[in-house]
Structure 1
Amino acid sequence: MRFNLIGPFEVVTDDGRVYQPGTPKVCQTLALLLTRPNEIVTAESLIKELWGERPPRSAVTTLQTYVYHARRMFVNERLVPSDRALIVTSPPGYAIHVDDGEIDIRIFERLVAEGRDRLVGGDPAGALVSVQEALALWRGPALSNFPAGDVLTGHIVHLEELRIRAFEIRIEAEDRLGRHGESIPELRRLVNDYPLNEWFHCRLIAALGTAGRRAEALHAYQNVRRLLADELGLEPSPQMQRLQHRILSADGFDGPDGADGTGRFGGAPRARSAVVREPRPVLARQDAGR
């Protein structure tokens, strides 16, 4: 069995059947339990997710009803064997007993960590394989088929941060493998999807400069400079300004500043970035040393 949370929430059985629970509150309950597999999730956390700061007086009883319906759903839809104790009551809350390999977000987290370790260990080809497999798990915005409460929203933001990390690892791995030109189309898409992420802008500018496309690189710099000024009233980071000066000088430009092994993954230092939320994010500048 597989629980897919990266995209519409769904349960995939061992024989390939795909089932999407139809009740939003049951989906929220299950999804929150699945973000902490084999751990006790308190009734207080579940109630906060379901009703926020103003739960009804019947919140505890209603939560028990949702858990009951979730248990019956797994049995009635033949999603798990009838003798498997999937959701257990464990005061002060509930726990769901599953393996990490049965939850796509756990697989995603493992693959991103594996990709980063391989890149740091000098294996860019292996890192690329890991993050490609991780990013292939995304079927759309996480938990997109029901409204998430405050608790699940925090997990969704965490997943988006990890997705940005996976993109960074992929770009860095491709750069180390000498695939500068191949990364340009993806970088153009990434700067459009994450417009205030300076790391992606730096990499696009550097890739264009390395490919001998100076005019396009300088145009990309001017675009991000205007964007930062208009949206945040800020100038580009010192790293990005140094990058522009190196392209203008056109003397020995061979990649982003710091490509000698001093950066975050052993390459270019990480620029300030932003968290993206669906459908249109509220973006915030972050510190360069995160």
Structure 2
Amino acid sequence: MVIGAERGGGHRSRIDGGRRSGHGNGDARRIAELEREVRELRRANEMLKVYFAQELDLDLSPASAAVGTGPGDRDGPEIAPVTPPMAADAVRWDPAPPYAPRTPRPMAEFRALGPIEAVVGGRLVDLGAPKQRALLAVLISKVGQPVAVDVIVEELWTGNPPPSAITSLQAYVANLRRVLEPGRAPRTPATVLRTFGRGYLLDNRVVEVDVHRFGERATAGWRALDRGEPRQALREFEAGLTLWRGQAYAEVADTAYVRPEAARLEELRLSVIEGRCAALLAVGAHEMAVAELEAFTQAHPLREYGCELLSLALYRSGRQAEALAVLRTNQKRLAEELGIDPRPALQHLENEILNHAPALDWRPVPGGGI
């Protein structure tokens, strides 16, 4: 708002009929203050909208819409405009943002390295019927990311959904929400299993998944081995492997949507087993490594690194002939089944075993004993 500056004749105040009274400046200041307060209220309103949206996990974007009106979506209020509940004089904002990420104890812990399990409040909970468990498995495989309703329906009913599929899906969601958040008040927004646009997601800010812990342990183990710390590597690898209880995402491991993730985890598990055996060799536990690697290579005969480790473990255990036999059996199998030669590392190892190369002998690693 501009005060004064009338046309045609100098500058006169519009307040008090153009006369400059002793109160003119005070009135102008008051109007300016009111304008600032109006602007501050507008900013406060917008900030409150963002604040409550983040605190209540609401989606205020125009593109977001409820999945439906079935029982799975009736436990959250509709989004209404937020108005500041205080007078302008009471509005005071700190320099810090109104919302800061928190790292509370997870509201739910999910186990997907085997049959799907969920722990809430320190106790295993009943996840219900097979399709309800499969729904949770699909969401866990993409934790923190929304999964579209169409994708879920496709996976649960293998491309042939009944007319009641959406209604059934909403019922499964409602049941899981009651199990995963038993203390949630009626018709309040879900925190763990949220509706997001035309889909659902598990909020990774409030849940924990054993898949992630396994990945962290695997990475820490390989890094420790690279640093020459085999004892630490053993601890990390073993802690990761104890998380496994069977096939990852057992309920939905063969579905098109989850199959790549299940295959990735299985490959990582096998590499961690090999890493653990390499750590055993590094600390001098050769016989222990032999026992584990013999079973491993029988189950996975085409994994060349496993064969390499077994051959080295046999050689260090004084079983040179068996060490050579492992390498030559592997060479024959690769040629017959795949039409390829062993990788150079295995050919080099065979030559070193034949020549009793000192480089193959075990040397204690400082601090590396078991």
What CA deviation, in whole Å up to 9, does each residue of 1:154-180 have, x standing for no partner? Answer: 110011121122113212222222323
Q: 1:146 to 1:91 in 2, by over 3 A?
A: closer
Q: Structure 1 residues 142, 63: closer, same or farther in 2, change over 3 A? A: farther
Aligned partner of 1:7 in structure 2 is 114
Contact 1:5 1:142 in 2 (8 A): yes
Aligned-residue offset at 1:44: 4.2
- Structure 2 residue aligned with 1:65: 168
- Check if 1:212 corresponds to 2:318: yes
Number of the residue aligned with 1:26: 132
- For residues 166-177 of structure 1, the aligned pairs below 5 Å read 166-177=272-283
1:39–1:147 distance in 2 versus 1, CA, 3 Å: closer
Q: Does the CA-based 8 Å contact 2:113-2:248 persist in structure 1? A: yes
Contact 1:101/1:107 (<8 A) preserved: no
Are the aligned partners of 2:109 and 2:118 in contact in 1 as well (CA < 8 Å)?
yes
CA deviation vs aligned residue, 1:46-84 (integer Å, no higher than 9, x gap): 3443355x45485xx724632431332441x57643345
Q: Does 1:193 align with 2:296?
A: no
Q: Is the 8 A contact 1:43 1:94 kept in 2?
A: yes
Among 159, 171, 183, the alignment partner of 1:81 is 183
Equivalence for 1:268: none
CA contact (8 A) 2:153 2:161 kept: no
CA offsets per residue over residues 106-134 of structure 1, 9 Å max, x none?
A: 11112112222222233221121111010
Question: In 2, are the aligned partners of 1:10 and 1:21 still within 8 Å (CA)?
Answer: no
Runs (4+) of structure 1 moved beyond 6 Å? none
Identify if the C-alpha distance between structure 1 residues 140 and 79 changes in structure 2 by more than 3 Å, giving closer, same or farther: farther
> Following the alignment from structure 1 to structure 2, what is the Cα–Cα distance between the partners of residues 98 and 133?
22
Alignment of 1:30-69 (within 5 A): 30-51=136-157, 54=159, 56=161, 58=163, 62-63=165-166, 65-69=168-172
Is 2:351 the partner of 1:249?
no
> Shift of residue 215 of structure 1?
1.0
Task: Compute the TM-score of the two structures, normalised by the length of structure 2.
Answer: 0.61
CA 1:63–1:234: 2 relative to 1, 3 Å: farther
Q: Tell me if the contact between 1:3 and 1:11 (Cα under 8 Å) persists in the aligned partners.
A: yes
CA distance in 2 between counterparts of 1:67 and 1:109 reads 32
Q: Of residues 273, 284, 309 in structure 2, which corresponds to 1:203?
A: 309
- For residues 218 and 122 of structure 1, do their structure 2 counterparts lie closer, same or farther at Cα, with a shift above 3 Å needed? closer
DSSP-derived class of the 2:360 partner: coil
> 1:266 — aligned with what?
none
| 1:236 corresponds to | 342
| Contact 1:209–1:253, Cα closer than 8 Å, also in 2 | no
- Asked whether the equivalents of residues 48 and 151 of structure 1 are also in contact (C-alpha less than 8 Å), the reply is no
Give the equivalent residue in structure 2 for 1:141: 247
Structure 1 residue 188 displacement after superposition: 0.8
Which deviates further from its counterpart, 110-119 or 212-221? 110-119
What is the aligned partner in structure 1 of residue 58 from structure 2? none
Q: Is the alpha carbon distance of 1:122 and 1:146 closer, same or farther for their aligned partners in structure 2, counting shifts above 3 Å?
A: same
Whether the 8 Å CA contact 2:153–2:165 is kept in 1: the answer is no
In structure 2, C-alpha distance between the alignment counterparts of 1:224 and 1:154, rounded to whole Å: 28
Q: Which moved more, 1:209-218 or 1:11-20?
A: 11-20
User: Which residue is 1:269 aligned to?
Assistant: none
Please state whether the residue corresponding to 1:88 is helix, strand or coil: strand
> What is the Cα deviation at residue 204 of structure 1?
0.4
Q: Computing the radius of gyration over CA atoms, which structure comes out larger, 1 or 2?
A: 2
Q: 1:241 to 1:39 in 2, by over 3 A?
A: same
3-state secondary structure, aligned to 1:12:
strand
Letter in 2 for 1:246: E
1:143 Cα deviation from its structure 2 partner: 2.4
CA displacement, residues 216-241 of structure 1 (integer Å, 9 cap, x when unaligned): 11121232123223321223222212
Unpaired segments ≥5 residues, structure 2: 1-107, 364-370
**Preserved CA contact (<8 Å) 1:37 1:100:** no
In the TM superposition, residue 196 of structure 1 has moved relative to its aligned partner by 0.8
Pick the aligned partner of 1:17 from 124, 139, 159: 124
TM value normalised by structure 1? 0.76
- The answer to whether 1:151 aligns with 2:232 is no
Note if 1:107 corresponds to 2:190: no
Matched AA of 2:120: T
Range with bigger deviation, 79-88 or 222-231? 79-88
Query: For residues 73 and 88 of structure 1, do their structure 2 counterparts lie closer, same or farther at Cα, with a shift above 3 Å needed?
Result: closer
